[in-house]
Structure 1
Amino acid sequence: MKPSARTPENESRPVWSHSCSLRDLVAPYTIDPAAVESLDTGPAWPRRWTARWKTEKADVISPIQELASVPAVASVPVRGFTWRAGQRHRPGLQYLLATGRMHGFESLAERNLLLALDFVSGWTEVLSQPFRLKFTTKDGRSQDHTPDFLVLLHETALLIDVRPAHLIKDKDLLKFAATDRAAVAVGWHYLVAAGWRRQVLTGLDALSARRRPMSDRLGLQTELLEAARERPRRFGELVEETSLPAVARAHAVHLLWHGRLAMDLSLPLDDAAWIYPVGRP
């Protein structure tokens, strides 16, 4: 039987917008222990398993034990992002403020993951379809898998697969287990994003509408920050205390996206939502 998406511990705990990590936002998938037992992890397995990277000039094949030393930023996606009539998935390009460029995705679920990455901090680069992992099982079979994203952190990296829990098939369990094993072997982390905390996607979508730079000639952001600093306020009350509430709404959302105001992302963003000064939720 396949394991199900794991509900994060204490589902009712707040998800503070100004300090949350990606793991605070997603419902991760538990790696199947039986799949781990099926992998070939005998002596020297990190030399037998390989990763195929693609660059503008040639493919680069490295053993897993050298995975962390490959100049990943010089690579390009190992699979192209194509569009055709009748296809069941929805690929596309997502702009990230954090990198200032477009990033490919192969489904709407992957697009949501990119949006969440743009919201959280602590990473330096994200690469789509970074490499093709080739691994073996105990019965001698060879299989391959391409993780959806490689997120480069300051001293390590995070491999991510995005798969809604109800779409995960038995054949995926072995691939997830192998990718997790490869990541751990080089000191990286691995995450299967199988779902989201309650309200998170709705909140991120609302906040992202004002993530781009905004001109504030009327000083409304200063008014909002000063009002919130006095005491936490409901969103509707906070904007009404400014000199131009209708415009202040957009600036309040902008400040929330950029972590200068705080809210609990596990609750809806509406006029009743509590807004806090950063550092005092």
Structure 2
Amino acid sequence: MWSHNCTLDDLVAPYTIAPGVFGRLETGPGWARRWTAAWKTSGAGVICPVQDLADFPALASVPTRGFTWRARQRHRPGLQYMVATGRMHGFESLAERRLLLALDFLGGVEEVLSQPFKLRFTTGDGGEDHTPDYLVLLRGTAVLVDVRPGHLVKDEDLVKFAAAEQAAATAGWRYVVVTGWRHHMATGLDALSARRRAMSDRLGLEGELLELVAERPQRFVELVEGTSLPAVARAHAVHLLWHRRLAVDLSQPLCDAAWIYPAGGP
């Protein structure tokens, strides 16, 4: 799985909602008018029918619920900085934090909205609600995302996921339930993220690295040892990998023995 052209689908282990779950939703004539999305802005709450979901000015919204911390809580909330947006984003678990890191790595992200709206929908048993974890705004489209480790997905979650997918489809968005990550992906992204912020290259080491790898693919340790200052070149090599100017196979451990290629080369 090459780092320079991977997508979210390549990185995550998504949950596939069984077709039968959608049959539990009330989707008769006019359902998109009856289902609603409750947004929160700095001034007041706004409720819109699901059929108008794509037209709501999402950038004017704030999270529908706050991020709280208390003693002995079982989940780990916090704030994660994203280079793509230049600001902090809330997360309610380490699994959500990992998603934010992956989104930052993938590129093309214009904005990420935490707990964007509360979806109110109906099933054969009556009304229910669900707050998706993130709305990811991309160029010309969006992805609605829920994050739930696979072993924590319960039966009552399934109908909520199905409702979120139904609403997202109406808006022309994709919907993904992230239940985990493909082998080595999480550890690889953690390692690369250490050098994701802007770096000064006064010694021209990045140019040296790009020239060396353009001649032939090299193992990571051989690549940095071939520069004029290997100890510093290590940091710049990781920076170039994060920004997709070099490439590595993310399905393998990122270590000295990892093969490094020019972006687009493998």
Q: Same fold (TM over 0.5)?
A: yes
How many residues of Structure 1 are paired with residues of Structure 2 in the alignment? 266
Which residue number corresponds to residue 170 of structure 2? 185
Structure 1 position 22, deviation (Å): 1.0
Structure 1 position 123, deviation (Å): 2.3
Structure 1 position 185, deviation (Å): 1.2
Which residue number corresponds to residue 74 of structure 1? 60
Aligned residue identity for 2:114: S
Which of 194, 206, 226 is the matching residue for 1:221?
206
Maintained 8 Å contact 1:210/1:250 = yes
Structure 1 position 34, deviation (Å): 2.1
Could you tell me how far apart the structure 2 residues matched to 1:112 and 1:264 are?
19
Which residue number corresponds to residue 93 of structure 2? 107
Which residue number corresponds to residue 262 of structure 2? 277
Could you tell me how far apart the structure 1 residues matched to 2:235 and 2:229 are?
11
Percentage of matched positions with identical amino acids: 71
1:263 matched to 2:248? The reply is yes
Structure 1 position 32, deviation (Å): 2.3
SS for the counterpart of 2:62 is coil
Which residue number corresponds to residue 2 of structure 2? 16
Show the 5 A alignment for 1:48-67. 48-67=34-53
Structure 1 position 86, deviation (Å): 1.2
Aligned residue identity for 2:253: P
Which residue number corresponds to residue 7 of structure 1? none
Task: Give the alignment's Cα RMSD to 1 decimal.
Answer: 0.7
| Deviation readout 1:11-48 (Å, 9 max, x if unpaired) | xxxx1111111111000000122211100010010000
SS for the counterpart of 1:173 is helix
SS for the counterpart of 1:267 is coil
Q: Calculate the TM-score normalised by the size of structure 2.
A: 0.99
Q: Calculate the TM-score normalised by the size of structure 1.
A: 0.93
Which residue number corresponds to residue 92 of structure 1? 78
Aligned residue identity for 1:229: A
Could you tell me how far apart the structure 2 residues matched to 1:185 and 1:235 are?
46
1:162 matched to 2:147? The reply is yes
Structure 1 position 156, deviation (Å): 1.6
Which residue number corresponds to residue 138 of structure 2? 153
Could you tell me how far apart the structure 1 residues matched to 2:137 and 2:238 are?
28
Could you tell me how far apart the structure 2 residues matched to 1:137 and 1:90 are?
32
Structure 1 position 122, deviation (Å): 2.1
SS for the counterpart of 1:142 is strand
Maintained 8 Å contact 1:93/1:105 = yes
SS for the counterpart of 1:213 is coil
Which residue number corresponds to residue 105 of structure 2? 119
Maintained 8 Å contact 1:147/1:161 = yes
SS for the counterpart of 1:159 is strand
- Tell me, which stretches of 5 or more residues in structure 1 are unaligned? 1-14
Which of 131, 135, 144 is the matching residue for 2:121?
135
Could you tell me how far apart the structure 2 residues matched to 1:219 and 1:87 are?
48
SS for the counterpart of 1:161 is strand
Could you tell me how far apart the structure 1 residues matched to 2:3 and 2:51 are?
37
SS for the counterpart of 1:269 is coil
